[in-house]
Amino acid sequence: MVDFLHKRKRTFLLSGMCLCVLAMILSVFPGIRLSVAEQGLAMVVVPLQRGANTTILWLQGRFAAMADNASLIAENAALREENIKLTLKVEQLHLAGEENYYLTNILEMRQRFPELPTVGARVIAQNQNNWRSRFSIGSGTREGIEANMPVLAGDAVKGIIRSAWNNHAEVITIFDGEFSVAVHSIRAETAGIVRGDIQLSREGLLRMDLIAATSNIMPGDTLVTSAYSPLFPPGLPVGTVLSVHPNPDGLTQYALVEPAAGTNRPHMVLVVTG
Amino acid sequence: MLRVPVMGVLILFNYVSQTTIWPELAILGVTPDTALIFIVSYGMLRGEIEGALFGLAAGFLMDIFGGEYLGVYALMGFLAGYVSGKPFRDFFKDNYFLPFFIVLGMALVYQFALYVALFMFRGHLDFWFYVYSIILPKTVYTAALAIPLYLLVHIINKRVETFENNRRSLFEDKEND
């Protein structure tokens, strides 16, 4: 096979490039997807990602426990034996405790929005490159998750589902350049669009656009999702205005916004399924 | 035919590690592009055809699970594999510095191409921001891992070649008998 291709290098090169370009053209049309290939690969890749993620969490817990152990020995040699026993117990309980912490978070989040139908999901993988801000969760269409469903972390908007498969889904975070949500300032009664921006994401900030020049929006104002948003239920916290700046056109202003969901990578998220 | 499953496992291993392990080891917020190292290494060791096929498969996997459009990573992986295999087919394979420089150059071109394909055409024209915050750190981090990962691919390739040669000679012996 390879020898055959070696004799037809030019044809091979052209065919490969044409195949990729054809795939690009086809993927522009919505609805055309490699569903079978995606589902098949996901059955292999997602369990591996889940396993790797669990191993990483275990290792992180182990290193943290080791560091605690070392400092306790230095502080009090008399308690060494007891300390080792406790450390072993801590190691054993660490993963269970961590899981419990995240599940409690999920429960608290659900209690904050009792009227919203939600599904808790674990973050299993990060985006493969640094050009986008995305992550994968270990729940998918099996749990009722579909594309364009809002994703919450803590009690605030964290992102939106980009695509969902049987056993996992991809989330676009609020910092991603493709993310945008219609928001509303409760105090100033001002509407606008909050967008992700790769440059601002380095400082942990978002950008709010399309603020009327006459608006009296000011730093400290809380922004929540607007009733005009087609994807997000109204009233979900998005962020707090940090500073307001006029646009050169003089007709609108823009604001820098601190996200309410924080900048840290979450371990668990809540997907609003209804 | 051992080579095909080995290639598949290598591609899967790379993708899983790139989405789980490497984000935990990010430096200045960037992760290394280990897929490119595997593609370049494989291309250099096995020639342009196999390098291109490896790049195509690795790229399609990335496209399927999170690419913007199907085929962008596949095309770049295909070309990276082909280009790195073309002139370096007969180089001394235990020379580890050549892969380092090839990965360094290729990572720079690859990241720049990604910027052009995904950002520049969408009006993100603050070129130097992207150079300093993503392209350069990512290139350096990727190049720093080029030698150990090339070594890994080299060892795997050697084992597979030994296995294939033994198998071939076994069949030739039987034919001669």
Cβ pair A23:B70 closer than 8 A: yes
A24 touches chain B (CB under 8 A): yes
Q: Per the structure block, which two tokens stand in for B126?
A: 């603050």
Could you say which of B20, B62, B72 has the minimum Cβ distance to residue A52? B20
Contact B33 A126 (CB under 8 A): no
**pLDDT at residue A1 in the model:** 67
Q: What is the 3-state secondary structure (H, E, C) of B126-149?
A: CHHHHHHHHHHHHHHHHHHCHHHH
The alpha carbon of residue A186 is apart from the nearest alpha carbon of chain B, in Å, by 32
Please state, in angstroms and rounded to a whole number, the distance separating the CA atoms of residues A132 and A159: 13
On the question of pLDDT at A120 being above 90, the answer is no
Residue A209: predicted pLDDT: 92
Q: What is the pLDDT of residues A207-228, one digit of tens each?
A: 999 999 888 899 999 999 998 8
- The string of DSSP codes covering A217-267 is --TT-EEEE-TT-SSSPTT-EEEEEEEEEE-TTSSEEEEEEEETT-SSPPS
CA terminus-to-terminus distance, chain A: 51
Average pLDDT for residues A248-273, to the nearest whole number? 88
Contact residues, B window 131-170, toward A, CB-based 8 Å cutoff:
133-134, 138
User: What is the distance between the alpha carbons of residues B166 and B176, in angstroms, rounded to a whole number?
Assistant: 15
Residue position matching structure tokens 């720049």: B112
Over 70: is that where the pLDDT of A169 sits? yes
Domain A117-274 CATH class label: mainly beta
Contact assessment for residue A161 and residue A148, using Cβ atoms and an 8 Å cutoff: yes
Alpha helix segments (H runs only) across chain B = 3-20, 34-46, 48-64, 72-85, 97-118, 127-130, 136-144, 146-176
Note whether B83 contacts A: Cβ–Cβ < 8 A. no
Q: Which helix (H) or strand (E) holds A225?
A: strand A222-225
**Two structure tokens written together for A37:** 């290939």
Would you mind telling me the total number of residues written for chain A in this entry? 274
Q: What is residue B145's predicted lDDT score, i.e. its pLDDT?
A: 93
- Residue B39 pLDDT class (50, 70, 90 cuts): very high
For residues A168-188, average pLDDT: 90
Q: Which residue has the tokens 């098949």?
A: A40
- Minimum CA–CA partner of A22 in chain B: B71
Record: contact B19-A9, CB cut-off 8 A: no
State the CB neighbour count (10 A cutoff) for residue B34: 22
Collapsing DSSP states into helix, strand and coil, what is residue B24?
helix
Q: What is the pLDDT of residues B81-106, one digit of tens each?
A: 999 887 766 677 777 888 899 899 98
Q: What does the mean pLDDT of chain A come to?
A: 83
Rounded to whole angstroms, how far apart are CA atoms A19 and A13? 10
